[in-house]
């Protein structure tokens, strides 16, 4: 029996598997995928932590259809969503600084019919460029035998794993050490330029106006190149925004003397605590966390917000 993953990050571990078979997801519930050894035994080390406390399922062993010669590092699990890619797709890259053999490339098992190749060449490309040391990333769409697979434990991930292991935090710090700083000192991270209704923030036009009146620059990160985002994040001394993907890579780049406030935009109160842990772990900063949802709590997304509560809490914490 394979036990589920716990809330504790696994101890850093690297296993080299000769003749490993990497099995991609085929679009099933709990995205079954992972690695089998040369004898056909599934390796629990390859399971992924998913959102909302879920764990990837064990896939069925399938006939090998592809072969990848050389030595490749299993970097994580595919996802075209920017935030999910940060939490799932780069979780094992810390091992690049600890592998005792030359790495020829990186592998990601495909996820359903997501077009990872397109996303890696567009919006996710700059992330790969900064983190992957110039190594090629190969998306595996069919069960593929790899001559030598470097299989690390996860060093980062959803929920309580956002704090990262010391090895993963050191890996990130090294690759984000040199950032071209360029941006305002006060920053509001808006979600108002996103497309889907469930991605938005209640009354955000009013929130933007409030923050602009207080001297904040309203910044929609997704509209700018990843490197530009990093430079803007590093320049800011005060950063405010709703929970979301921006707060997953903000801690990688922000300055040590910055202040941050993050408020809840949806009915997931546990998220604020996890984001705070990530910021404390990676940047040494304890953010102000605010729950401005209207009571009694509705179940809609985005959650209706009480602007007076948000304004008062930001004022009390010195952001307004």
Residue range 45-61: mean pLDDT, rounded: 92
Distance CA 155, CA 241 (A): 26
Which of the four pLDDT bands, split at 50, 70 and 90, describes residue 299? confident
pLDDT in tens, 76-129: 999 999 999 999 999 999 999 999 999 999 999 999 999 999 999 999 999 999
What is the pLDDT at residue 4?
A: 52
Domain boundaries, the chain: 14-175, 186-316
CB 73 within 8 A of CB 29: no
Q: Which two tokens stand for residue 16?
A: 């080299």
pLDDT in tens, 60-84: 999 999 999 999 999 999 999 999 9
Residue range 206-216: mean pLDDT, rounded: 98
Residues written for the chain = 320
Distance CA 109, CA 288 (A): 37
**Of 71-75, 91-95, 246-250, 259-263, which range is least confident?**
246-250
What is the pLDDT at residue 87?
A: 95
Q: Which two tokens stand for residue 207?
A: 């929130």
The CATH number of the domain covering residues in 186-316: 3.40.50
């Amino acid at each position: 029996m394979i036990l589920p993953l716990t809330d504790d990050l696994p101890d850093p571990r690297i296993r080299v598997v000769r003749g490993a078979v990497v099995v991609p997801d085929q679009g099933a519930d709990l995205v079954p995928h992972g690695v089998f050894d040369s004898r056909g035994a599934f390796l629990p080390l390859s399971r992924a932590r998913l959102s909302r406390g879920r764990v990837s399922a064990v896939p069925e062993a399938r006939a090998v259809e592809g072969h990848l010669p050389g030595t490749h590092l299993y970097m994580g699990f595919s996802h075209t969503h920017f935030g999910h890619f940060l939490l799932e797709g780069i979780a094992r890259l810390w091992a690049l600084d600890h592998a005792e053999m030359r790495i020829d490339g990186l592998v990601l098992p495909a996820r359903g019919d997501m077009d990872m190749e397109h996303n890696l060449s567009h919006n996710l490309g700059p992330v790969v460029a900064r983190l992957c040391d110039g190594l090629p990333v190969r998306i595996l769409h069919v069960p593929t035998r790899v001559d030598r697979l470097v299989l690390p434990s996860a060093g980062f991930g959803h929920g309580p794993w956002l704090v990262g292991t010391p090895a993963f935090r050191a890996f990130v710090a090294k690759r984000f050490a040199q950032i071209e700083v360029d941006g305002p000192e006060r920053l509001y991270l808006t979600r108002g330029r996103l497309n889907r209704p469930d991605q938005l923030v209640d009354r955000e036009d009013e929130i933007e106006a409030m923050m602009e009146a207080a001297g904040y620059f309203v910044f929609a990160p997704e509209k700018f190149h990843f490197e530009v985002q990093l430079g803007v994040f590093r320049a800011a001394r005060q950063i405010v925004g709703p929970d979301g993907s921006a707060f997953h890579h903000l801690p990688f780049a922000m300055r040590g003397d910055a202040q941050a406030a993050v408020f809840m935009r949806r009915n997931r109160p546990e998220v604020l605590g996890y984001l705070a842990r990530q910021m404390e772990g990676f940047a040494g900063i304890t953010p102000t966390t605010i729950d401005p949802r209207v009571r009694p709590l509705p179940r809609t997304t985005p959650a209706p917000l009480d602007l007076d509560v948000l304004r008062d809490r930001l004022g009390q914490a010195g952001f307004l």
